Amino acid sequence: MTVNYKFWKQLKKIMMYGSEKETRARWSNGNVAKTVGLFQQFNEYSNIQEKFPILSLRNINYRAAIDEILWIWQKRSNKLSDLNSKIWDEWEYKGTGTIGHSYGFILNKEYKGLSNKNPEILGSKKFLNPVEYLFQQITQNPNDRRIIVNMFDFNEIGNAGLPPCAYETLWSVEKGRLHMTLIQRSGDFFVAAGAGCWNEVQYAFLQCLVARCCGLEPGNFTHFVQDLHIYDRHLVDNRDIIDEWSFMTSHEYQDNFSRGGRPLKYNSKLNFVDFESPELVFSEKITNKSGDLETAWKLFNEFKQTNYEISNYSPEKTKLKLEVAI
C-alpha cells in the first residue's frame, strides 16, 4: 500500500468519523484552536529505504525535516542557533535562546540505569544518555527487549514550553534487520503526523541511518499516534484542496467507506500507483561491515546532510496554508 494511499485513507477517515474538540493552543489572533481528529491511529511500513515513506501529494521539505531530527538526536541540542530553520522560534523558552528542557536536552541527559560498559568509546562516565545507550545495546546486546528511547521526562515538563510530541521509540534487532516503532502523543495531520509527512520522514530516516551505522538493514517501521487531528483553520484555509483529495479514487484498492449503508463513489483524479517510489540512498562512506560500536558511534556523530539523497521524489506542486497554533 503506497504512502499516498495511506494518507488519503487517513484523511477520509478523519473527515468522516473524527470528533471535534477544543485545545489549549491559540491562533495568532488569540482565538481558541479547535480540531477534528481520531485516537489511536497507526501506519506500518516495510522496505523503507527502497520505498521511502514520503508523501508525493504535496512537497515535503525533507531536508529541513532531517535537519531537525539530527538537531534532536545527533547534536542533542535545545539551542535555536543549532537548528538551520526557524520552525521552533515561536516556542523559545523564556528568552533563553532554547526550547527549554525538551527533545535534544532530554537526549543529552544521562540517566541512572543506563550503564556505560564502553568508557573507552563513550567517555569515562558511569551513566549514558539515551542515544549512547541505544547504540551500545544495538551493537552489543541486540537481543535486548528493552531498547527504548523515551523523551517524556516528567521531571522536565515544567521547564519547557512544549513537551515532546513524538516522544518514544522502541527498537528491535532480528536477523540483521533493525525494526522501530515511533509513539506520538499528539500529531497535526497536515503539518507533521499524517502518512508520509514530516514526522514519518524524520523517523524512517533515523531508523535507516541508525541501521546503516550499525551494519544492519532497516526493518519494519510502525508509527502510532494517540491523537491525530486536523486544525479548524487548516480545514477552512485549504477547503478546495481537501475536497479534491477527499474525492480521489484509489483505482486498484478497495474502498470500504460508505454513508447510510450505500458505498461511496468517487471521480477518478489520481492513480496512487503512478508515483515511482522514492529511495533513500546513503554515501558509501556510511558503512560499518563489522557492526562494532566504535565505528557505529563515529559514523552517526560525523554524519552530514551531504551523505544522503532521496532519489525519484517528484511531488505534486500543491501548497497548503498551514498556520501553526501556539
Q: Return the active site residues.
A: 165
User: CA-CA distance, 163 to 185, in Å (whole number)?
Assistant: 10
Q: How many CB atoms lie within 10 A of CB 241?
A: 16
Q: Are 220 and 45 in contact (CB under 8 A)?
A: yes
User: CA-CA distance, 258 to 215, in Å (whole number)?
Assistant: 47
Find the farthest-apart pair of alpha carbons in the chain and give their distance in angstroms, rounded.
67
Nearest CA-CA partner of 107 in 141, 60, 148: 148
User: CA-CA distance, 207 to 187, in Å (whole number)?
Assistant: 20
C-alpha cell at 108: 543529552
DSSP designation for 241:
H
